[in-house]
Each structure stands twice: as C-alpha cells, then as structure tokens.
Amino acid sequence: MNNQHCELNELGWSDWFEQRAGCKPTATIARVAAVDRDQLLLVDQTSAFRAKLAGSYLYRHHLSHELPCVGDWVCLEKSGDFGVVRAIIERRTSLRRKSAGDVIEYQMIAANLDYVVVVQSCHFDFNLKRLERYLVMVMDGGAEPYILLTKTDLLDPGVVAAQLAEIRSAGITAPIATVSNVTREGLDDFKRLLLPGKTYCFVGSSGVGKSTLINQLMGREIFETKAVSGTGEGRHTTVRRELIRIEGGALVIDNPGMREFGIFGAEGGIGSSYSDITSISSSVVSPTLLYI
C-alpha cells in the first residue's frame, strides 16, 4: 500500500480496496461524502472537493445502482479543486432497498459500511417486525448490524427492559444499546462502540433522533433538528445522506427517515419470524465497475 493510500485509512480505506482498486497510476482515489444531483462531494487525504461523473461513464451505465452513492470509493482525475470520476471501486458492502414499482431494480442507500445502526424510539416507534426487516436489509448487504433504542427518558425503565427482552426472544443477537439524547444516559457507552476509521450508517424512521444523536457525537450542531411533538415524536429533518467524521475518528452517515422499504427475496417472509426471513435473504451484489 503506497503512502497516499495509507493516508486514506482514516477515511475507511483498507487492504481489501487496495487489492481491487485497479486505478491508473496517475489517478486520484477519493471517497464519496455526498451526492447533489449531478455533482459529487468527495473527500481524500487532504481536502473535500467537488466532482462530476465522466460523460463516457454515464453513457455506458444507466442503472441507478451503477452510479456513485455515499460511501463509494472512486478513481478520478483531479485538477485543482475539481475532479472527473472515471470508475467506481468494487463495493465491499452495501445498503440497498428495492425501488418502487414492478421493475426489479434497487436503490443504493450507502456503500462500504462496516456497521449499520438501526435506530428506533422506544417511546413511539418500537416495532419488532420493522426491526426484523431492517436487519434483513443490513445482512443482505454484508454489514454488521447494531440496534439503538432512543428516547428512553420518556418511558419507565421496566417498559424498556420488556422491549429488550422481546428483541432477544425473537432470536435477534445483534448488539443493542439504549440512549437518551435529553439526559445523555447511555451516550458515553454508545460512543465507545464507534471505532476510528470504521463507517457507521444510521437508519430508522423519521423523528427517532438520528440527527440529534449525531450532533451529540460531534459535540456541535451539524444537522438541523426540530422539536418533538407533544407525543414525543420527532419531526423529519435530514434531507440527504452525508458522510462525516466525528470526534474519535469514526465515520457516520445520517439517513433520511425510512419507515417502509422493499427487500429482495424476502417479500414473502415479511410476516414470518426473524429466523425465517433471514434464511431467504439474498446475497449482496458488489459489481466491479470497469474503466471506460
């Protein structure tokens, strides 16, 4: 691994990508931090900068999952503070969902994730069946799942304990953490789970406290948040996915709220138990996209 690539380790680069990169010797390697219509926000070992896809790439790749998403590594030509992306490096893991409609197509949510944190509010949003569907989607893409229950300050501890027991009784073995963004109880324990150089994507329904939590982890207001309603339910605020580095060196991706989503190969088992639907989860698709 050359010196440039070693410096990318803090952004999640590893020997796995080094062995599969295949970039030209003169190319720059960077990671996609955000997608804004036809432009990309990329980060490398020195800075953040804008880029666009090469026209020849767009000519040959028409499907949505062939386009860069947050977390992708790309090969590009960089001139000053702007770049032209020539190739996407093979994805190690992904998070995807079936697109709406009858066409068998899927939408990429994020790529090259080490962990996906499934967030539910134990006050208004706790739903075991939905949690199971999220976990199937996570495992389908190859990342490791965490479960995070928020807003514990709004419920009696006995209710929270019962919810934890319900999750375990369903055969779910993923690590579980609980946190209150108000009292900060459990926040330090959760911070210790986030390892430097690893990428975490937060998913869950709107208003469960994902953006507030990331602001807490950053120690300052990065994402806009809105006050909760009288029922304790938050309001949706995140409008785009963005990769950011938090205090301690972990990389996190906030995600617009998702309550419903399609899962490849598991549609017939959504009403079944966790063990039933995990047995029919499809394997991850990680295409290597070649130079054009």
Give the confidence band of 271 by pLDDT, cuts at 50, 70, 90: very low
Locate the domains of the chain by residue range.
3-88, 95-278
Specify the higher pLDDT residue, 275 or 162. 162
Fold of 3-88: OB fold (Dihydrolipoamide Acetyltransferase, E2P) (2.40.50)
Which range, of 73-82, 189-198, 211-220, 225-234, averages the lowest pLDDT?
225-234
Please give the C-alpha separations between residue 76 and each of 42, 44, 58, 202, 238, in angstroms, as whole numbers: 10, 11, 14, 28, 29
Q: Is the pLDDT of residue 285 over 90?
A: no
Q: Is the pLDDT of residue 174 over 50?
A: yes
Contact between 248 and 193 under an 8 Å Cβ cutoff? The reply is no
pLDDT of 267 reads: 44
pLDDT of 54 reads: 95
pLDDT of 241 reads: 85
Extended strands (E) in the chain? 28-36, 39-43, 48-53, 73-79, 82-88, 94-98, 106-111, 115-121, 144-150, 176-178, 199-204, 242-245, 251-254
Q: Is the pLDDT of residue 66 over 80?
A: yes
Q: Is the pLDDT of residue 277 over 80?
A: no
Domains 3-88 and 95-278 share a fold: no
CATH 3.10.20.30 fits 95-278, yes or no: no
pLDDT of 272 reads: 45
pLDDT of 219 reads: 73
pLDDT of 261 reads: 53
Q: Is the pLDDT of residue 112 over 90?
A: yes
- 118-149 pLDDT, tens per residue? 999 998 889 999 999 999 999 999 999 999 99
pLDDT of 100 reads: 58
- 236-259 pLDDT, tens per residue? 444 578 999 998 999 999 877 555
In this structure, the dihedral spanned by the alpha carbons of residues 82, 87, 93 and 94, taken in order and rounded to 10 degrees, is 70
User: How does the average pLDDT of the chain come out, rounded?
Assistant: 82
Give the C-alpha separation, 186 to 178, whole Å. Answer: 6
Tokens of 148: 């995070």
pLDDT of 263 reads: 54
Q: State the Cα angle at 90 between 192 and 23, rounded to 5°.
A: 110
Give the confidence band of 28 by pLDDT, cuts at 50, 70, 90: very high
